[in-house]
Chain A
Amino acid sequence: MYLKKLTSNSYYTMKKIIFIMVAFFLPLVLFGQVKLTGVVKDAKTGEPMIGVTVKVKSTNTGSLTDVNGKFSVDVPANDAALVFSYIGYKSITLIPKTGKPISVEMDENLEMLDEVVVVGYGTQKKESMVGAISSIKSQSLVSSPVSNLTQALAGKATGVSVVQQSGEIGRDEASIFIRGKATFNDKNAQPLIVVDGIIRESFAQIDANEVESINILKDASATAVFGVKGANGVIIVTTKRGLTGKAQVSFSAQTAINSPMRLHTPIDAYRTALLKVEANDNGGNVSEYSASQLMNYRTKSSPFTEPDVDWMNEIVKPYSMQQQYNVNVRGGSKTVRYFISAGYFNQDSPLKQDNITSYRRYNFRSNLDIDVTRDLSFSLSMGTRIENRKYISSMFWSSWDIYHLAFAQSGRQYPMYNMNGSYSPTNLFASILDSGTATDDRTVLETSFNTQYKMDWMLKGLSLRGQVAYDDNSNHPKMYNQQAATYEYIYPTDTYIKKQDQKTIAYNWDDVHNSRKLYFETGLSYIRDFGVHNLTGLALYNGSLSGVDNNQFRATLGYIGRITYNYDKRYLAEVNLGINGSENFAPEKRWGVFPAFSLGWIVSNEKFWQNSPIYNVINNFKLRSSLGWVGNDRCWDNNGNELRFQYLQTYNTTGGYMFGDNAASGISQGDIANKTVTWEKARKLNIGFETALFNNLFILTGDYFFEYRWDILSPVASKPDYVGANFVYGNIGSTQNQGFEAELTHNFKVNKNFSYSVKGNFSFARNKILEKGTGDGTLLYQRDEGYSIDMFKKYVTLGYFQTYDEIEKSPSQLGLSGNNDVRPGDLKYKDINGDGVINEKDMVHVGFPSTPEIQYGITLGIKWKNFDATCLFQGSANASFDKNWDIMWAFSNNANVFPRHWYYWTPETGNTRSQYTQLYGHYQNNEAGADYTLSDARYIRLKNIDLGYTFTKNVIPFISNMRVYITAVNLITWSKEKDLDPDNRNDRGGFMPPSRTINVGVNVNF
């Protein structure tokens, strides 16, 4: 009803506006004395620019350029100066010569001092901002042909750590932490994701072509307005919107080849068998292989009984394909602006013989902005995606069943196929070709409706705003299973034993999940300049309701306020406030108040600075600081299950017990409830500066931060078994987290044809556990308190024992569980507490935490005529990961053996040249859990190279410009870790590694 009325009303309004506009421009024509005409073009592309303001200096007279970039303006006198201005471009002032058409070329303003940054519930001018915010622009996102937008963040922003653990097709999302971790659980440490003003689950599958910017809010002043969930930082993704002017059609196509990085290569079957025999001999065990079997392995003369299969190479494609297309249209009139985009992404299976697995994504976006009257505007934003994932059934949950077996299962065990053509046991081809099909279809619909009403007539600068958003996502996994018969060939009897039955393909299960979210906000915003006093204000009320299927809804309510004040662009002050309620806590524990205060001083705007010679060197210098409180109301356990309503004592129905022939159902008490559970809270301090040197030739920013996090929702770690039940989580833990980050940008335009840029960022964050609820009986030096989150507690290895004499003289290692024999070549451990026995009391924190403490990136760019090239080096340091499985499990069962095991300890190789312990089938000593298996995860990666050439209009008709490019991702990695990709942290090498990608693409603008 309302909508209908509104539409008919706005029709009359439109007519009115047109009349006003005509009336407004009429005087210009009437009073014109000299008419000047000309054209405005973009200096870089040579494109005509639409909507550039052309103003006669010191008057109110002016005009706008039309769709061809042309303008005409009447000036009062011949020597009048014209000012050309356009957002994002440097203003130009010139005194035109009469009689000649004026041709103006405008340069992009790379200093971006006028730049507007999207912050929580609004935008701010970068110049007067006091929060710690990093920005990534669309340009640098599009040039990374990643299958998942999270990966594109690596190395591009300070304070953001990106770890991509796997290259699993369709689910290769990187985990992101902002300023490291300050809470125990990975899932609790995830930043908040805001897409177009709405809190959303993920931005991973958004087409990079649709993204205008990604802003990362780090300190409390920026995140306090998100009170409830801002504690881990906020990632704000903003999609492109329409611009006034002629429709710009842009089309891009990319095709890429992916090849897996760092596949494990085991050593061949003969050498593996030799090592196994040696290990058995040393251990006094029955030899697994006879001399004739060894001979067969060596000569490969009996491939069906003594095979040598390199499973990894047999099943993994050297490269697989990926395509991406996008077409979008962007434009608008004065009153209606639009951005419409459609994209398609497709990724093929990384496995040989697998023509089932694939990932396809279709995405559409339509962002409309309508000015109904001069005061009232509406926006409608809609993004939708269809994601079709298809897998062979054995790879539905993860690639573990395939990759892990290829990694771990020895190729000496069974042939690829038996002599009679049947499948051998645990056969990977059987898993690929005969496991069935599984699909996972998702549809994602994200809509929001926005309205803004300027109420200058009531109070100048005041406007009313409101928004309603509705998201509806559903996914539908479906599985058909089958199984091939496998047979083991028994040599002595020349028979086949069936190891697995054949099952024909059959529907297994399917499932439909639906998640919905409703969000609303309404509020007032105020912006007003009173001479040198600039004031903005925001008061907002919002709420959201979301849920999956029929589960209990999540609900939040919030009152949000912000006041910013700047005096003469010199002194900045800002107060942010979030008062938030969460359904997750008992009514009296439900509300949290999260204020933040910040101050800034733009020193370079002071007279004394501008009058001093230092201004010639440092043309911009800003100091800023903030202190604030933020919270978190969500809690996940270590298995990724969300814990909700922990204040309620639950009772559950159980399977019960059987009496007679009937199962009696049962009731049991759930985990012991915690009536006092409430917000996890963080206090954040940030001190930073921004500076520009030599007229913005160098721009340097730096930040120091300190965070204290308390009431962390964590398990009661000290609960002894005799309590007899689990406690729910409580507000137990506390941590601190501090660090610094710096960013340096250098742009230099050498001449009209040649320019280059260098951009580097560096971040360091170190956390410390202050309280984790460690049990009273724990030895002081073994407590986690005082160490970083996710550190390893292990024995310290001093090397290999060289002689029995050395073993005799060293602290006894027989205190290790089950250890009753130590031999030369075994690992020697440090007796930490000096009691002469190595046992669990000698385990200490070693290495670095698993989340890197140091992150950095360096982007180098050059432009020469129409060529451009960018390369990004990205790296991380101060991180460890454990390779226990990889190293220590080689000789268990039928696992694979790797090159390092070939260089096992012998008296000759000693401590210096051995890469593995002595070979001996009893591992109680060496597998006790030592830093021996810890790997240094530091690396530097040539993350991205992007080479492009731009054809301008002059070269190709009908096309305004066209860029062709070739991009490489993950080209080279330098790391201490040589076997696995250092981000692919899975201990067992069991998941598909991330890919190296070579991509060619074209981007056409019509």
Chain B
Amino acid sequence: MKNRLLYLIYSISIISTISFTACKDFLEQAPNLNMDEEKVFGNYDNAYKFQADIYTNLKKGFSVLGSFQGAPIACATDEAEGSAGWHTSNNLNVGAYDGIDNVISNDYAGIRKANLFISKINAIPFPSVEVKNQMVGEVYFLRAFYFHDVIKRYGGMPIMTDLFLYPSDNLNAPRASYKDCVDNILADLNTAIPMLSSVVEDKSIGRVTKGAAMALKSRVLLYAASPLWNKEFTNSDKWKLAADAAMDVINLVSDGSPVYSLYNTGAGATDYEQQFFIRPPENKEVIFWFNDSPKKFGDDEIVIWAPAGDGFLNGAGAVLPTQNFVDLFEMANGKTIDEAGSGYDPLNPYVGRDPRFYKTVIFNGSTWQGISIETFIGGKHRPKITDCKTGYFVRKYLPETVKPSTSTASFHNWQYIRLAEVYLNYAEAINEAEGPDKAYFYMNLIRKRSNMPELPSELTQNQMREDIKRERAIELSFEENRWWDVRRWMDGEKYFKGPFYGMDITKNSDGTFTYNRTLFETRIYSSKMNLYPIPISDMNKNSLYIQNPGW
């Protein structure tokens, strides 16, 4: 009996004691969170980081369409064609609009972050009122920026000020009217403008400034006043409001001197080209951009745009300017190519054009990065007819110094708003509000920087409007303006529909070239495409959504 009891004790000792003593708080395995709501917003350093993270919902426009080596929106406009089969721009060009981009969820994610931050302002121990004003002002701007990114696609959408907690009773929300959305955005911007500094220290460049908020306001008002929206946006003096908002940016001063001016060292169109690779304070033209580290040739955002073929290892040549776009460039004398006396030579089409042409497009016979470009059929950069099917590559936004297999890097910042756009915003708005007189000055400022002649005087309002449209197409090309401009003008059927041409160039035995405009695609566009369709997956989730007309 004694032995048995001993065994019993042994067994219990070995097994049970291990078990039971190990069980204290056994199920408490959850991580000890080093960050929770209180630790994030109750601590300035953490709140600072949270605020910085709201910027991360900004997206560069270099390859927004598609998840793998995507194409820029330019490829869905008359500016260019996306070369690869997987480029979703190709779907847009045949009218397949569902699931165009995932921008909406990204934008609303930014809006939620901003809402969360704004709801915690009183909890955050800011070191000073100045710091608080600047940080809070940035957040109001970003919320406005993200929301405008939504409504320029879909029109009026739900205005989010709410923070949804785990499945709230009702996730359904109605679409707000376009006007309410614009008013909401303007209210945010008007809150932000007085809080923001005009100029930030060098170590803070990239942060939102007063001018950025004012410039966005100018754009928001211009879009709202445009034909696509003016039935909904019913303010009677809407063009004047837009013009004034633009003029406020132009007139913005800091320490007695203007904050913004065109980047102009007197080098003509070269300044226009270099402007994209230079940041403030040297560059006083750019107002709001995606502040990023310098890029090498191997980085996606350069490789995708770079030419393909000999000398450009891994260059994708994904963005191919169309002939339709090339034809929009005036001659250096200021006349359009089909105008009498323009001097345009179809046998030598690249001679004597707008100086910006040579900084925007890589064409057959041009030299880039020291390599002579051959986009004639069978040439080094178009060995097969299916390669480089328009005959052009983009030059704009590509730093010439950044070459393959070198480690040279350059700033390559995606610019959201620069002064030239604000000038054009003003010109367009004032031409509509008061006629062409006041539009000349800023149109000519832009043209003169690139050594283009001034506009002819005595233009009618309509002629001025057409000139402004062309000027926006050329000056702001590949900057994600064309897609929105053509829509708000309701000009899609004019510019985005129908035959699209490339240039098939054959090299003759005597070394000369024969140029042949060749149809590469007939594109689809109808007025319903001025607005994006709400994806059916989203329609399914919200019973209060009403689909955009025509979809």
Contacts and interface: CB of A to CB of B under 8 A. Distances in A.
B52 A453 contact: no
Given A656-B52, A924-B94, A840 B536 contact: yes
B167 interface: yes
Interface in B14-37: 14-16, 18-19, 22-23, 26-31, 33, 35-37
A721 B106 CA distance: 8
Contacts of A669: 113, 116
A667 B27 contact: no
Interface string A421-454: 0000000000000000000000000000001010
Contacts of A805: none
B309 interface: yes
B171 A648 contact: no
A665 B115 CA distance: 20
A680 B6 CA distance: 44
Nearest to A676: B166
Nearest to A677: B166
Interface string A468-485: 100000000000000000
Contacts of B13: 2
Nearest to A778: B540
A648 B313 contact: no
A659 B16 CA distance: 59
A817 B29 contact: no
Given A376-B7, A492-B383, A674 B36 contact: no
B32 to A, nearest CB: 10
Interface string A710-735: 00000011111111110110100000
Contacts of B115: 724
Interface stretch (A88-96, A195-203, A550-558, A965-973): A550-558
Interface string B197-226: 000011111110000000000000000000
Contacts of A720: 158, 171-173, 538, 541-542
A672 B95 contact: no
Nearest to A724: B112
A648 B378 contact: no
A652 B46 CA distance: 11
Interface string A497-522: 11001000000000000000000111
B95 A582 contact: no
B33 A648 contact: yes
A197 to B, nearest CB: 14
Interface stretch (A36-44, A50-58, A769-777): A769-777
A451 B167 contact: no
A543 B26 contact: yes
Contacts of A658: 206, 291-293
Given A660-B203, A720-B538, A493 B96 contact: no
Interface in A356-404: 373, 375-376
B310 interface: yes
A545 B24 CA distance: 13
A11 interface: no
A777 B14 contact: no
A723 B161 CA distance: 10
A468 B15 contact: yes
B49 interface: yes
B176 to A, nearest CB: 11
A427 B132 CA distance: 59
A668 B109 CA distance: 11
Contacts of A665: 49, 52
Contact of A675 (B85, B166, B202, B205): B166
A817 B524 contact: no
Most chain B beta-carbon neighbours within 10 Å: one of A668, A675, A724, A892 = A724
B206 A657 contact: yes
Contacts of B85: 892-893
B196 to A, nearest CB: 14
A277 to B, nearest CB: 13
A662 B29 contact: no
B31 A557 contact: no
Interface stretch (B97-105, B123-131, B183-191, B458-466): B97-105
A76 interface: no
Nearest to B378: A492
A924 B11 contact: no
A955 B134 CA distance: 97
A924 B90 CA distance: 12
B166 A466 contact: no
Interface residues of B, number: 93
A518 to B, nearest CB: 8
Interface in B294-312: 309-310
Contact of A451 (B11, B313, B383): B11
Interface in A872-926: 892-893, 922, 924
Contacts of A649: 36-37
Contacts of A552: 29-31
B340 interface: no
Interface in A535-562: 541-543, 545, 552-557
A548 to B, nearest CB: 13
A652 B108 CA distance: 19
A464 interface: yes
A669 B321 CA distance: 41
A29 interface: no
A818 B27 contact: no
B35 A667 contact: yes
B53 interface: yes
Contacts of A666: 49-50, 52-53, 55-56
A371 to B, nearest CB: 12
A667 B10 CA distance: 54
Contacts of B18: 468, 520
Most chain B beta-carbon neighbours within 10 Å: one of A501, A665, A721, A777 = A721
A719 B205 CA distance: 37
A30 interface: no
Contacts of A608: none
A750 interface: no
B158 A722 contact: yes
B166 A667 contact: no
B167 A727 contact: yes
Most chain B beta-carbon neighbours within 10 Å: one of A375, A674, A723, A819 = A723
Contacts of B386: 286, 288
Interface string A1-22: 0110110010001000000000
A590 interface: yes
A453 B104 contact: no
Contact of B204 (A556, A659, A820, A893): A659
Given A719-B171, A820-B94, A520 B291 contact: no
A652 B49 CA distance: 11
A656 B49 contact: yes
Nearest to A456: B4
B40 A651 contact: yes
B442 interface: no
A660 B206 contact: yes
B12 interface: yes
5 contacts: A2-B10, A556-B27, A668-B56, A730-B166, A777-B543
Interface of B: 1, 3-4, 6-8, 10-16, 18-19, 22-23, 26-31, 33, 35-37, 39-40, 46, 48-50, 52-53, 55-56, 58, 85, 91, 94-98, 104-105, 108-113, 115-116, 157-158, 160, 164-167, 171-173, 201-207, 291-293, 309-310, 313, 378, 380, 383, 385-386, 524, 536, 538-545
Q: Which 5 A-B pairs have the closest CB atoms?
A: A818-B96, A466-B15, A724-B112, A666-B53, A775-B541
Given A466-B11, A818-B94, 9 more contacts: A581-B27, A583-B28, A648-B30, A659-B52, A660-B201, A665-B49, A676-B166, A722-B157, A778-B540
Interface of A: 2-3, 5-6, 9, 13, 286, 288, 373, 375-376, 451, 453, 455, 457, 464, 466-468, 490, 492-493, 497-498, 501, 520-522, 541-543, 545, 552-557, 581-583, 587, 590, 645, 648-669, 672-676, 716-725, 727-728, 730, 774-779, 782, 817-820, 840, 892-893, 922, 924
